[in-house]
Amino acid sequence: MDRLLAHAALSEAIARCGRENVTAAARDALAESRQRIAQGRAAPGLDALAESIAATVTARYAPSLRTVINATGVILHTNLGRALLSEAAQQAAVRAAAGYTNLEYDLESGERGSRHGHLESLLRQVTGAEAGLVVNNNAAAVMLGLHAFALGKGVIVSRGEAVEIGGGFRVPEILQQSGAKLVEVGTTNRTYLADFEAAVTPETAAYLRVHPSNFRVSGFTHEPSLAEMASSAGERGILLLHDIGSGCLLETRAFGLAHEPTPQESIAAGSDLVFFSGDKLLGGPQAGIIAGKAPLVQQLKKHPLVRAMRIDKMTLAALQATLLHYATGEAASQIPVWRMIGAARKDLSTRARRWAKAIGQGASVIQSESTIGGGSLPTETLPSPVVAIGGTGTALESLAKRLRHGPTPVVARIERERLVLDPRTVLPEQDDALLAAVLAALAAGQ
């Protein structure tokens, strides 16, 4: 053990990970060697043993959360962390982490302030709502709204909207967990206002509309407009709650996409409360935003569950910086999600050609499609020039695997006997790292 711990191969590991951790790994490695010898098998020599211990310790104490290059062309890739933050939002989060802030301190009066106050006026401005509140994620926001206003009461939902959004968010289960009672009306494809109205009883708390974010029902369909539902709810003294999902604050038609419903429209149509994510098309950090009527939001702010779901200062700082981009009209140019959606064909093409040339070995530029992802605009695609590397199924699978296992993991997509690298979701400053990773993965497969 002493000779091992004094070995040059372990000095760096000791400095970085601590003597105790290296000693523990060395003890395990020695025990394994003894066992091999007892079984009459060969055991590694001192140098090999020290090197393998160094590798074990280094891997064990490296952060498992790593930066990856997203070459899939899926902009809001849920498994890769959804939205990337703008430069300003990144800096705001770092500042909030590094120093004290007036998070809950009123600098004017020198007294206790409210963390919610930092976002309130921005939320009013960008959504047009009377008031707003932010919690951990949209699942929490919806749960909170239902629990606060429909506990033990009925919530009427169209059968076409009692959906699963993915990652465990299923409308009937969220309703059940919130303590509200699901009342399903209509059919999967056609639900009328009259269906909702016929189900209202003295026990009804709300109509709930849920945006079917990640699928489309088309053809013989009907759903009442939000405005119709808002006036129907108002007449009956119940609420109209709207889980709109993505929190898309810009008009997607301006980017050549289908229309994605916006919180502004929902508020304007008369929804009492609208719920949406911070890290989908809004392009900010993970958060759940509730916008709507002031008395309801005031009531929510005092709810004990808000304390259990409250956002932390880094999220708040990043969300505030993100919302400021919308408030000052620079969202499309500053927020990575919108920059990727709005990327010029010419720029993507230039990068794809440069990549193909650098990769060589049968790489070519072909026309393909990027997608929005993250449960937003499921049937919409953006035409993209991409780099394709041809090969058979198993060769491509093993190339994709080598790309994922490199020092800077690259996640690519495989389509029709080709490995595809999509420049739309790769940050331009990652181009060189991507090319180095691809060349190394190809060379390792030779």
CB of residue 215 to ligand PLP, shortest distance in Å: 11
β pairing state of 239-245 and 204-210: parallel
Task: Please name the residues in contact with 326: beta carbons below 8 A apart, sequence gap of 6 or more.
Answer: 126, 249, 250
d(CA 209, CA 166) in angstroms, rounded, equals: 17
Query: Which residue number, 73 or 245, has a Cβ lying nearer to ligand PLP?
Result: 245
Helix ranges restricted to H, 67-116: 87-98
Residue 254 in contact with residue 219, Cβ under 8 Å?
Answer: no
CB of residue 139 to ligand PLP, shortest distance in Å: 3
The 8-class DSSP code of residue 270 comes to T
CB of residue 245 to ligand PLP, shortest distance in Å: 3
CB of residue 239 to ligand PLP, shortest distance in Å: 17
Q: Which residues bind ligand PLP (CB under 6 A)?
A: 137-139, 165, 169, 210-211, 213, 243, 245-246, 277, 288, 375
Residue 185: both structure tokens together = 């009306």
Query: Which residue number, 56 or 214, has a Cβ lying nearer to ligand PLP?
Result: 214
β pairing state of 181-185 and 273-277: unpaired
Nearest to 335 by CA among 343, 345, 325, 348: 325
Nearest to 375 by CA among 164, 175, 119: 164
Give the residue at shortest CB distance from ligand PLP.
245
Residue 235 in contact with residue 195, Cβ under 8 Å?
Answer: no
Residue 124 in contact with residue 281, Cβ under 8 Å?
Answer: no
Query: Which residue number, 169 or 207, has a Cβ lying nearer to ligand PLP?
Result: 169
For the stretch 337-360, what's the b/e string if a residue is b when 16 or more beta carbons lie within 10 angstroms of its beta carbon? Answer: bbbbbebeeeebbebbeebbebbe
CB of residue 196 to ligand PLP, shortest distance in Å: 19
CB of residue 244 to ligand PLP, shortest distance in Å: 7
Query: Which residue number, 69 or 287, has a Cβ lying nearer to ligand PLP?
Result: 287
Query: Which residue number, 137 or 334, has a Cβ lying nearer to ligand PLP?
Result: 137
**In 171-277, where do the E strands start and end?**
181-185, 204-210, 239-245, 273-277
CB of residue 118 to ligand PLP, shortest distance in Å: 20
CB of residue 76 to ligand PLP, shortest distance in Å: 10
Query: Which residue number, 245 or 423, has a Cβ lying nearer to ligand PLP?
Result: 245
d(CA 93, CA 119) in angstroms, rounded, equals: 15
Nearest to 213 by CA among 238, 178, 177, 248: 248
Task: Please name the residues in contact with 191: beta carbons below 8 A apart, sequence gap of 6 or more.
Answer: 158, 159, 160, 185, 222, 223, 224
Residue 353: both structure tokens together = 């050609």
CB of residue 435 to ligand PLP, shortest distance in Å: 33
Query: Which residue number, 326 or 355, has a Cβ lying nearer to ligand PLP?
Result: 326
Query: Which residue number, 195 or 279, has a Cβ lying nearer to ligand PLP?
Result: 279
Query: Which residue number, 86 or 277, has a Cβ lying nearer to ligand PLP?
Result: 277
Residue 78 in contact with residue 373, Cβ under 8 Å?
Answer: yes
Query: Which residue number, 133 or 399, has a Cβ lying nearer to ligand PLP?
Result: 133
Facing residues of 242 across strands? Answer: 209, 274
CB of residue 167 to ligand PLP, shortest distance in Å: 6
